A and B are shown apart, each in its own frame.
Chain A
Amino acid sequence: MNAPGGRTPARLIPPELLAGLGDLELIARAVVDGVVNGLHRSDMFGFSQEFAEYRDYVPGDDPRFVDWNAYARTGRPYLKRFEGETNTRLMLLVDASASMGFGERGVTKLDYARWVAAALAWLGRRQHDAVGLLAFGDSVAAFQPPSARAAAVDRLFHTLDGLRAESGTDWSAAFAYLSARVARRGIVAVLSDFYCAPDVLGQSLRGLGARGHDVLLVHILDAAERVPRVGRGAGLRDAETGAVMEVDGQELRLDYPGRLAAHEQALRREAAAAGADYVRMDTDQPLDRGLLDYLRFRARHP
């Protein structure tokens, strides 16, 4: 089966391999470069840095993007614009609650979320987007306002690297914190397992939408969460609350996928109602698909 863009799966980097790399920047570059190089050979237009037009320089523009050759010929400063480049603000919201620490085969959901976040940040850096980070659990664990500086991305990588999955989840507090500190509109990518009531999440999303943000929900799940494999009479302990519940493995195998699908549908509905997009990512899948989904999303929200 071919991956999107006509690439073969052999070119994708499996998450297990990424886990062995350790360096978050290296992971991000490897993922993004692979995706971008693939895009050059694809029929997807606008996702490369191809020249599109010149525009007049206005105060405040980064002088590094002034086309000095055009300035020499015309005497006027022009900025060179490329297809797919709109210089937006990307805010990464990473769920660092305890439930994100769950994962089989050595890759937790938080690991996967930080790789996705790093890749998006690196992609934003390539496209001169301002990238910020808000990590939260039951409170805000880390916040970094959006910035297009390379040093900011480095600091963001450092912050991502230091995240630990612990505590519970408080969506309203995280969104309120974001709204209070990020006034300008931009893209908000929320990376979480979304174990919450969809309607509650929907209210928060609608608040962000009302402020002009374009929201992308990245739903990260582990393979073991899709079909929990437990025996009859197994005791399961909630990672966040510590509560223990006795479940029936047989019943679980029959009922749980349906409940999970219904939950995803509810999340999609709430996201659509708030004008947000929803992307499902599994920790056993390469990150490319997530990036492509993001690029598509970004193309729709210049």
Chain B
Amino acid sequence: MSFLAAPFLLGVLLVGVPLWLHRMHRDAPERGFSSLFLMRAAREPVRTDRSLRHLVLLAVRCAVLAAAALAFARPALSALGSGYGSAADGAAERGRPRLVVLDRSLSMSRPEVWRRAVDRVDELTDGGAVLVAAGAELELLDSAGAAAPGVARLDFDGLMARLAALAGTLPWAERGFEVHVVSDFQATAVPARFNALIEGADWPLVLHEVGRDEDNWSVESAVLAAGEVVARVGSFAATRREIPVVLRAEGTELDRLVLETAAGARAEARFPLPEAVAVESGDTGITVSLDVEDALAADNVRRTVHRGPRSAPLALVAPAGSGPDYLAAAVEAAGLPFAVTRMTANAPAAEWPAGAALAVLVDPGALSGPLARRVSRVLENGGGVLVSVGPRTERAGALPLLEHGLQRHEPSDPGGSSVVIEDPGHPAAADWWREVRVARSVVPREAAGGRTILALEDGRSLLVEHRFGTGRLLVLHTALDREWTSLVVRPAFVRFVADALGYLGNDLGALRAVAGEPVQLPVASVQLFDADGARVLELGSTANRPTVRFPAAGFYSVRTPGRRALLAVNVDPRESDLRPAEPAVLARWRETARSQEPRTVRDPAAIAAQAEEPSDWPLAPWLLGLLAVLLLAEPVVANLGGVFGDVPGGSRTVAHRG
């Protein structure tokens, strides 16, 4: 604590006045009287109460004088940031908890930057503080030594709001605290909307900048297109440089070229895809890497997957002579990698395509028993089945795989009912469904369970997902017939078929995953292994579209019933740009934060310079507020029970003895 107007502190001596008066009063606690012969004791003894009240009154009056003197003395707390040691000591003296946020994004993995950050955190947490590692998510740590630079990206957009949510769970949150952010403050991490930096920040904020601009190059993308691999290389260097670029497949170098990169520019490297890879039926891991030593090594490699031509078996079971084969046309139009095997509802089970874990049942009201059992086994083994009802199902009044009964349903509107999306997050649900009209349907007679994804206006189910173990059954309660619904004549029908079969068939499609970032797999019942064969995700955790956070960049093997796919996980290319945020932005952040005088602390030289100019957090407003409260409280306490009648100044007696 420092005092800018020390002479005013002499005013504190005024507290001696009430103390003196109080002592004078205490010198005559009892009065002599000639005789108590005619006296009567007070009905309610009040001396003890009065003494306590006098003490309270004395304390209030002393506090009034002290608060007034201190307020005009302009005491201030030294703000943090004037050197790490003093910052820790200051906070410890004040007892204000400290929340230290350590940026452990990919850009912080530079050894020198990370070492400085850890040193800074050690100093800030000396004497106790809560340490939070910030990447794609916030994580409480015991010490900086337990932290390691991550592979994810830290975006300051909304960071304060996330911190507020985290701090709200801490026991000392109500006492108020100050937040220290130790980061390299990349420009790419600062949101374009400035308010996103400060929303939720209602605490003193101190920025500790430990990074610096360094030359760096990265492969920002690698795309397979038209028989070649196109890699885009970004330069975040101050100089032009020729960099060797290498193409590898499954770890084997296939090609190499030298790419000239201009300062701060981007360049493309194109490699023809070797025929041996192009004709490979399975997935092939392709990497494009830079042969260069720069600030960040992790972003010098970009991974992608070449998926060879293949087709998974799909059983399409439809009654003979059931009209236009909209479904088969849609499967073909969607370009799905499925080999469709057509079957009739009463076909022998032996015709079931080998290894088929995906089936489409069109109007299965007349499905034979053997086929029904086969479909049931597919589901039990984690497969997927898409069912659409029809006239036969309506006549049967039930679906072979479900126990509940069905009944015909026609909406009151002759033009049909519109569709209501009950589960917008489902892959088979899309906004275009709102344009579809349903004139006829076959719906459950009673509550049939399952998860309703789409419904009619009157609440009747239209698309329902039922679970059979790890298998999924998707039931469309209308027929793929233009007399029943407008769905089949709309272009969106192909989208529906692609979405539904992709979902049921566990197709990874064009899934892109970024290291450290959460990604929801579009499949269920999946096993996930890293490049070393270590299990990343347990099977039991994948019953329903699991969200996965890949711990590192690399190739991962995704195994679903009947399929095995390769997934490329890369680092976020925005981490490659190591340029710090504009000082003006940080200054504005500093000024706008609720901190009285937050500051950005830079590297040792800057720290030493700032140590010479300590900033203060004035206490005078708080003291004035306290003074106002005390001034209100003093007469209240003083008038309780007529204290003034008891204080010195009343009649004194003279007793002569001897």
List of B residues within 8 angstroms of A252 by Cβ = 39
Compute how far the CA of A246 lies from the CA of B33 in the bound complex, rounded to whole angstroms: 12
Compute how far the CA of A255 lies from the CA of B37 in the bound complex, rounded to whole angstroms: 14
Q: Decide yes or no: A166 and B658 within 8 Å by CB, A224-B651, A224-B653 being known contacts.
A: yes
List of B residues within 8 angstroms of A246 by Cβ = 41-42, 45-47
Q: Are A239 and B32 in contact (CB under 8 A)?
A: yes
Compute how far the CA of A196 lies from the CA of B50 in the bound complex, rounded to whole angstroms: 32
Q: Are A99 and B657 in contact (CB under 8 A)?
A: no
Q: Are A231 and B642 in contact (CB under 8 A)?
A: yes
Q: Are A235 and B31 in contact (CB under 8 A)?
A: yes
Q: Are A195 and B657 in contact (CB under 8 A)?
A: no
Tell me the minimal C-beta distance from B66 to chain A in angstroms.
28
Q: Decide yes or no: A234 and B654 within 8 Å by CB, A251-B42, A256-B38 being known contacts.
A: no
As a 0/1 sequence over residues 32 to 73 of chain B, the CB contacts with chain A under 8 angstroms (1 = contact) are 111111111111111101100000000000000000000000
Compute how far the CA of A228 lies from the CA of B42 in the bound complex, rounded to whole angstroms: 14
List of B residues within 8 angstroms of A237 by Cβ = 30-33
Of B36, B40, B44, B50, most buried by chain A (CB within 10 Å of CB) is B36
Report how many residues on chain B are interfacial, defined by Cβ distance under 8 Å: 34
Q: Decide yes or no: A238 and B654 within 8 Å by CB, A244-B30, A248-B42 being known contacts.
A: no
Q: Are A104 and B47 in contact (CB under 8 A)?
A: no
A225 CB within 8 Å of chain B: yes
Q: Decide yes or no: A236 and B657 within 8 Å by CB, A231-B642, A245-B41, A248-B46 being known contacts.
A: no
B645 CB within 8 Å of chain A: yes
Tell me the minimal C-beta distance from A138 to chain B in angstroms.
14
Interface residues of A in 95-109 (CB under 8 A from B): 98-104, 106, 108-109
A280 CB within 8 Å of chain B: no
Of A108, A247, A249, most buried by chain B (CB within 10 Å of CB) is A247
Tell me the minimal C-beta distance from B37 to chain A in angstroms.
4
Compute how far the CA of A233 lies from the CA of B25 in the bound complex, rounded to whole angstroms: 14
Q: Are B646 and A251 in contact (CB under 8 A)?
A: no
Compute how far the CA of A278 lies from the CA of B395 in the bound complex, rounded to whole angstroms: 128
Compute how far the CA of A229 lies from the CA of B653 in the bound complex, rounded to whole angstroms: 10
A193 CB within 8 Å of chain B: yes
Interface residues of B in 396-435 (CB under 8 A from A): none
Of B49, B653, B657, most buried by chain A (CB within 10 Å of CB) is B653
A240 CB within 8 Å of chain B: yes
Tell me the minimal C-beta distance from B519 to chain A in angstroms.
77
Q: Are B41 and A233 in contact (CB under 8 A)?
A: no
Q: Decide yes or no: A239 and B651 within 8 Å by CB, A233-B46, A247-B42 being known contacts.
A: no
Instruction: Determine the residue in chain A with the shortest Cβ distance to B656.
Output: A101
Compute how far the CA of A120 lies from the CA of B146 in the bound complex, rounded to whole angstroms: 105
B533 CB within 8 Å of chain A: no
Compute how far the CA of A100 lies from the CA of B33 in the bound complex, rounded to whole angstroms: 10
Tell me the minimal C-beta distance from A301 to chain B in angstroms.
30
Compute how far the CA of A78 lies from the CA of B91 in the bound complex, rounded to whole angstroms: 113
Q: Are B656 and A228 in contact (CB under 8 A)?
A: no
Tell me the minimal C-beta distance from B38 to chain A in angstroms.
5
A165 CB within 8 Å of chain B: yes
Compute how far the CA of A252 lies from the CA of B40 in the bound complex, rounded to whole angstroms: 8
Select B31's contact among A234, A241, A260, beta carbons within 8 Å: A234
B145 CB within 8 Å of chain A: no
B655 CB within 8 Å of chain A: yes
As a 0/1 sequence over residues 632 to 645 of chain B, the CB contacts with chain A under 8 angstroms (1 = contact) are 00000000011001
Select A101's contact among B41, B42, B49, B657, beta carbons within 8 Å: B657
Report how many residues on chain A are interfacial, defined by Cβ distance under 8 Å: 49
A222 CB within 8 Å of chain B: yes
Compute how far the CA of A217 lies from the CA of B30 in the bound complex, rounded to whole angstroms: 32
Of A233, A256, A259, most buried by chain B (CB within 10 Å of CB) is A233
Q: Decide yes or no: A193 and B34 within 8 Å by CB, A104-B653, A246-B45, A247-B40 being known contacts.
A: yes
A230 CB within 8 Å of chain B: yes
Q: Decide yes or no: A102 and B38 within 8 Å by CB, A232-B642, A235-B47 being known contacts.
A: no
List of A residues within 8 angstroms of B646 by Cβ = 231-234
List of A residues within 8 angstroms of B645 by Cβ = 231-232, 249
Instruction: Determine the residue in chain A with the shortest Cβ distance to B648.
Output: A231
Tell me the minimal C-beta distance from B284 to chain A in angstroms.
97
Q: Are A101 and B35 in contact (CB under 8 A)?
A: no
Q: Decide yes or no: A247 and B654 within 8 Å by CB, A102-B34, A232-B646, A233-B49 being known contacts.
A: no
Tell me the minimal C-beta distance from B587 to chain A in angstroms.
63
Q: Decide yes or no: A238 and B651 within 8 Å by CB, A230-B31, A244-B30 being known contacts.
A: no
Tell me the minimal C-beta distance from B542 to chain A in angstroms.
78
Tell me the minimal C-beta distance from B53 to chain A in angstroms.
10
List of A residues within 8 angstroms of B651 by Cβ = 104, 224, 229-230
A298 CB within 8 Å of chain B: no
Select A238's contact among B33, B45, B657, beta carbons within 8 Å: B33
Instruction: Determine the residue in chain A with the shortest Cβ distance to B36.
Output: A238
Compute how far the CA of A252 lies from the CA of B653 in the bound complex, rounded to whole angstroms: 17
Instruction: Determine the residue in chain A with the shortest Cβ distance to B646.
Output: A231
Tell me the minimal C-beta distance from B43 to chain A in angstroms.
7
Q: Are A102 and B50 in contact (CB under 8 A)?
A: no
B127 CB within 8 Å of chain A: no
Instruction: Determine the residue in chain A with the shortest Cβ distance to B642.
Output: A232
Select A236's contact among B36, B50, B647, beta carbons within 8 Å: B36
Compute how far the CA of A247 lies from the CA of B49 in the bound complex, rounded to whole angstroms: 14
Q: Are A229 and B34 in contact (CB under 8 A)?
A: no
List of A residues within 8 angstroms of B335 by Cβ = none
Q: Are B36 and A245 in contact (CB under 8 A)?
A: yes
Select B42's contact among A106, A165, A233, A243, beta carbons within 8 Å: A233
Q: Are B50 and A247 in contact (CB under 8 A)?
A: no
List of A residues within 8 angstroms of B37 by Cβ = 195-196
Compute how far the CA of A239 lies from the CA of B641 in the bound complex, rounded to whole angstroms: 28
As a 0/1 sequence over residues 239 to 278 of chain A, the CB contacts with chain B under 8 angstroms (1 = contact) are 1110111111111100110011001000000000000000
Q: Are A239 and B658 in contact (CB under 8 A)?
A: no
List of B residues within 8 angstroms of A245 by Cβ = 36, 39, 41
List of A residues within 8 angstroms of B31 by Cβ = 230, 234-237
Select B650's contact among A109, A231, A239, A255, beta carbons within 8 Å: A231
Tell me the minimal C-beta distance from A235 to chain B in angstroms.
4
Tell me the minimal C-beta distance from A189 to chain B in angstroms.
21
Select B43's contact among A103, A241, A251, beta carbons within 8 Å: A251
List of A residues within 8 angstroms of B44 by Cβ = 248
List of B residues within 8 angstroms of A165 by Cβ = 656-657
List of B residues within 8 angstroms of A40 by Cβ = none
Select A243's contact among B29, B36, B40, B50, beta carbons within 8 Å: B36
Tell me the minimal C-beta distance from A167 to chain B in angstroms.
11
List of A residues within 8 angstroms of B657 by Cβ = 98, 101, 164-166
Q: Are B32 and A108 in contact (CB under 8 A)?
A: no
List of B residues within 8 angstroms of A106 by Cβ = 654
Compute how far the CA of A229 lies from the CA of B646 in the bound complex, rounded to whole angstroms: 10
Q: Are A164 and B42 in contact (CB under 8 A)?
A: no
Compute how far the CA of A100 lies from the CA of B50 in the bound complex, rounded to whole angstroms: 31
Compute how far the CA of A104 lies from the CA of B651 in the bound complex, rounded to whole angstroms: 9
Compute how far the CA of A99 lies from the CA of B36 in the bound complex, rounded to whole angstroms: 10
Select A195's contact among B38, B41, B43, beta carbons within 8 Å: B38
List of A residues within 8 angstroms of B656 by Cβ = 101, 103, 108, 110, 164-165
List of B residues within 8 angstroms of A236 by Cβ = 30-33, 36, 39
List of B residues within 8 angstroms of A238 by Cβ = 33, 35-36
Tell me the minimal C-beta distance from B195 to chain A in angstroms.
61
List residues of B whose CB falls within 8 A of some A CB. 29-47, 49-50, 641-642, 645-647, 650-651, 653-658
Q: Given A108-B654, A164-B658, 13 more contacts at CB 8 Å?
A: A101-B34, A102-B654, A165-B657, A195-B38, A196-B37, A232-B50, A233-B646, A234-B47, A237-B32, A239-B32, A239-B655, A247-B39, A251-B42
A-B contact pairs, 19 of them (CB 8 A): A98-B657, A101-B656, A102-B654, A103-B653, A109-B34, A110-B656, A225-B34, A230-B650, A232-B50, A232-B646, A233-B646, A234-B31, A234-B47, A236-B36, A237-B30, A246-B42, A248-B46, A251-B42, A252-B39
For the complex of A and B, list the 10 residue pairs with the smallest distance between their C-beta atoms, beginning with the closest. A233-B46, A102-B34, A231-B646, A248-B42, A235-B30, A195-B35, A231-B645, A99-B34, A195-B37, A236-B33
